Structure 1
Amino acid sequence: MQTITEETKKKVVKLHIQDGRTISSLAAEYGICHATVSNWVRAYREECQTNDAAKSEYKLMQENRKLRQELAEAKKENDFLKKAAAFFAKEID
């Protein structure tokens, strides 16, 4: 049985909450049972209910995830507009 450090637990929880990684992918990557990862995430969310520092960190991770998603969407839209502009520029010539 492998010993998991607190640092690794926090890293896995952060990857799930902030980066949107699935519990299944994290469990497979770190060689940990799916239920164990799920328990870590649940325990962290419960800690956020009573610990203001953890609650603040949790909100920052969620906001970071949201902003990353918005940035990715904006990049897709920008790429589309560039292609459309190039297409219409060819039509004019």
Structure 2
Amino acid sequence: MVKKPVKYSPELRAEVVAAYEQGGRTYAEVARNYNLVPETVRLWVAAAKKENSGQTPEARGSIERARVAEMERRIRELESENAFLKKAAAFFAREQR
């Protein structure tokens, strides 16, 4: 007979991952405390690391949006500096005559 997979809450997953990362314990020790299989804990920790490292589509999207926003801010800053330098160059060109 095939067992139906158990659905665990995101809160439990987060708690187990935090317990593993904070305690410096092995997967088996954490799994024993939560009545889980060590492989389940390992998979949850790996998924959390992947999500936090920016390898998921959502994380890549948010990283890309932040990168674009930073580039747009830098472009505005450079355009402002460029406009100031053009005015300064025109002022000094007039002074030379």
Q: TM-score, normalised by structure 2?
A: 0.47
Structure with greater contact order relative to length (CA < 8 Å, sep ≥ 6): 1
More helix by share: 1
